[in-house]
Amino acid sequence: MAVYDFASSEAKLKERVAAVTDSSVLRKTAEAANLFPIAMPELKNTLVGSIKKINALAWSNDSKLICSSDQGGKVIIWDPKCCLKLSYATQNFVLTTCFHPTEKKIYVGGMDNLVTVYDYSDESNIEFKKLKELQEHDGYVGSCVFASNTQFLTTGGDAKIVLWDATKNTKVSQFLGHQGDAGSIKFPKVKGSSFVTSSTDGTVRVWDMRTGKGTHAFKTSGECNSCAFFPSGQAIAAACHNGEAFLYDLRSCGQLQKFVRKGARASAIEFSSSGRIMYCAYEDGFVGLWDTFGSGGYKQKLDAHASNTGTSKIIAHLAVSPDGTAFATGAYDAKIKIWGA
């Protein structure tokens, strides 16, 4: 029968512990943790044909289509892979667009305080068919997002968040708490009952659709232009007009990270499908790719529209495709650019 040498085993264990605590070993371990650096995205396509600045931008659920609106009064559905305009509608001052998850409908909102529903199922007619106009807001509609196949949310200049029944086109409930314009609504990758909103009142808030009440409220350093939900649903991000962005943990109700670009106003924020990258768009035309798992400055600084002059470099919208393979930026130069690995 074999005899186990406990003394020898204990000595070897002490040697391993000493080796792990050696600074050179710790440095190598840290380097090994960075085996997957954040790569610079490549420009895949540029969608040209809008008039003046891009006001809104949204992907379809299958990541095959993009709906946009421009200051020229056109709402356009694009095939981003082929750079083709598929259909359009004429409506002025549109600020938000979104696709119905399963039906060939788009929902748009804007300065008319209305949510307008269009049908684009008729492929023989290049122009959308207007179906319905919904009114519940006392101010502009700045964001519209589907929660499920039968419900969607809107918010805007009246600070109200309205939950709608998409089958009956009626209001279900509303959420109150913001004290200023609320221009952004986001869900986590796996949609549940929680969503996040941001407002010019300098707060970013998490809500529960089941209770109709807020569950979290975080005070930021300035007006919040955009927000995002971490894919797992356990954290949120906020982008502020002063150029600062924040990452908050919902479990501890605390701030995890603060991301700062001095002298550059943040206009839009999104997470990659894994949550590793936080995309933050700025009014100077750059997109910062921040590492949510690390520390320090941004890992990549993407010149998305910065080569333009004057206000045409301002990025108004940034949207990540649901399948996570690409993201789109829309700017005041009237161009939509598609970026990917």
198 DSSP β-pair partners = 184, 204
Confidence check: pLDDT of 35 > 70: no
At 26 the pLDDT is 40
The residues near 4 (Cβ < 8 Å, ≥ 6 apart) are none
Residue type (1 letter), 84:
L
| Angle at 232 (CA atoms; ends 329, 219), nearest 5 degrees | 75
Average pLDDT over residues 204-233: 96
Can you give the pTM of this predicted structure?
Answer: 0.87
As given in the structure block, the two tokens for residue 281 are 């768009």
The Cα 278–Cα 298 span in angstroms is 9
Task: Tell whether 167 and 193 lie within a shared domain.
Answer: no
Q: What is the pLDDT of residue 32?
A: 44
Q: Percent of the chain at pLDDT above 90?
A: 83
pLDDT on residue 27:
45
Residue 158 Cα to chain centre, angstroms: 22
Domain of residue 272: give its range. Answer: 181-341
Give a yes or no: residue 317 inside a domain.
yes
Helix (H) or strand (E) holding 165: strand 161-165
234 with 340, same domain: the answer is: yes
Confidence of residue 21 (pLDDT cuts 50, 70, 90): very low
Q: Is the pLDDT of residue 133 over 80?
A: yes
Tens digits of per-residue pLDDT, 179-197?
999 989 999 988 889 999 9
Helix (H) / strand (E) containing 24? helix 23-32
pLDDT tens digit sequence for 293-325: 887 777 899 999 999 999 999 999 999 999 999
Task: Kindly state whether residues 145 and 230 are assigned to the same domain.
Answer: no
In this predicted structure, what is the pLDDT of residue 74?
96
pLDDT score, position 191:
85
Does 36 have pLDDT greater than 90?
no
The last residue of a domain, from among 117, 148, 176: 176
For the chain, what is the domain count? 2
Residue 323, C-beta contacts closer than 8 angstroms, at least 6 positions apart:
62, 63, 273
